[in-house]
Amino acid sequence: MPPSFWQAALDKMLKRVDQTGPQLKGAFPHYAQPTGEWVTTPDGDWTGGFWPGMCWLAAKATGGARYRRWALEWAERLRPRATSDTAFRGFLFYYGAVPGALLHYDATAREIALEGARHWAKAYNPNAGCFPLGAAAEEASDVGQGEASIDTVQGAALLVWAAQTAGEPAWKNLAVFHARRHIEFCVRADGSVCQSASFDPTTGALKRRYTHKGVSHESTWARAQAWAILGYALMHQWTGEKDFLDVAQKTADWWIAHVPPNRVAYWDFDAPVTPDTEHDSSATAITAAALLKVAAAQKDEQKRKEYRAAAEATVRALGEGYLDARGVLDRGCYSKRINLATRNELIWGSYYLFEALCVLAGQLEANKL
């Protein structure tokens, strides 16, 4: 694969960033209509970190002052969310502000990210050894103090970064406990992943495993699998703990063994396949970015090459078949269950493809962010 393919795809996505900024008017992009017009949220819902995250990366890749200005403006708009009762503060403050601190040494971004982490750390339940989903989490039902979801493992990386940055080692321990508890909650013995679990908030006992967005409680919703690969790859990256890499590999191997030959997952691995079955480009983009991390973590040269090749083939499939001339990553499936944005551009899918392209184009180290 000539490097120019990655840079050309990155340049297309940069045009989409240029086109997105002026249309937002202070709101946060969530998903886009086929026309390219964004459906926005006023407060960032669970996705508000991904737009400033793209802008921080765009500023790093191009040096463009406008991208850095946008990144900081939207990171600042996330500040009130530091006290929202949601475990998705991990997504909001990791992507919304940590790249500003890590890549640009921006003091305000550092302070915003720490504010998010400091407040979220207070939500830890020591009886259960995890952070509950919280009453204000995005999932429309089954949220609160006794619910857990695999998509909150990524956020534990915010707390590990914050522990190092603020000199608060206890936050790292909470993050490690949270990630380990979710292996028991969500990762099946064969390496497939279940989205969610209920637990007793007093004793911590696991009560059930279930899904909010998959075909069934026993099926494998594509984003559950993707969030697990990413969450455990990130937790290994930030802590060096071997068990997290083992889980990242096991869940990545399951994905690689089960993804269709074109490398792009259907919205659920157990969805009946017909010509109309929706793919989820966003789950695939999350996985591509995560596979680059899994590759970078390998000590064995052969394994490193294999994971890297899987990552490159996945990004190539998205770049060739799902990224249009406008720089729109289409055919993400937000929620098939409620028929919400089932063939659309989703801001988080765009973020992870953009991150993966930054790595492949040589603009970002795979294990930096």
Which residues lie near ligand GLY (CB under 6 A)?
46, 138, 151, 213, 223
Please identify, using beta-carbon distances, which residue of 182 and 213 lies nearer to ligand GLY.
213
135 residue type, one letter: A
Decide: residue 37, CB within 10 A, 0-12 exposed, 13-18 middle, 19+ buried.
Answer: exposed
DSSP letter, residue 253:
H
Among all chains, which residue has been given the structure tokens 């009762």? 85
Minimum Å gap between C-beta 301 and ligand GLY is 34
Minimum Å gap between C-beta 344 and ligand GLY is 13
Minimum Å gap between C-beta 334 and ligand GLY is 7
* Gyration radius from the chain CA atoms: 19
Please identify, using beta-carbon distances, which residue of 20 and 196 lies nearer to ligand GLY.
196
Minimum Å gap between C-beta 138 and ligand GLY is 5
Please identify, using beta-carbon distances, which residue of 110 and 223 lies nearer to ligand GLY.
223
Q: How far apart are CA 70 and CA 261, in angstroms?
A: 38
Please identify, using beta-carbon distances, which residue of 225 and 363 lies nearer to ligand GLY.
225
In the chain, the N- to C-terminal Cα span, in Å, equals: 24
Count Cβ atoms below 10 Å from residue 199 Cβ, excluding itself.
24
Q: Where are the alpha helices (DSSP H) in the chain?
A: 3-24, 50-62, 65-78, 89-104, 107-121, 156-166, 169-186, 222-239, 242-258, 281-296, 301-321, 347-360
Please identify, using beta-carbon distances, which residue of 6 and 46 lies nearer to ligand GLY.
46
Three-class DSSP category at 115: helix
Please identify, using beta-carbon distances, which residue of 115 and 139 lies nearer to ligand GLY.
139
Minimum Å gap between C-beta 258 and ligand GLY is 18
Minimum Å gap between C-beta 4 and ligand GLY is 32
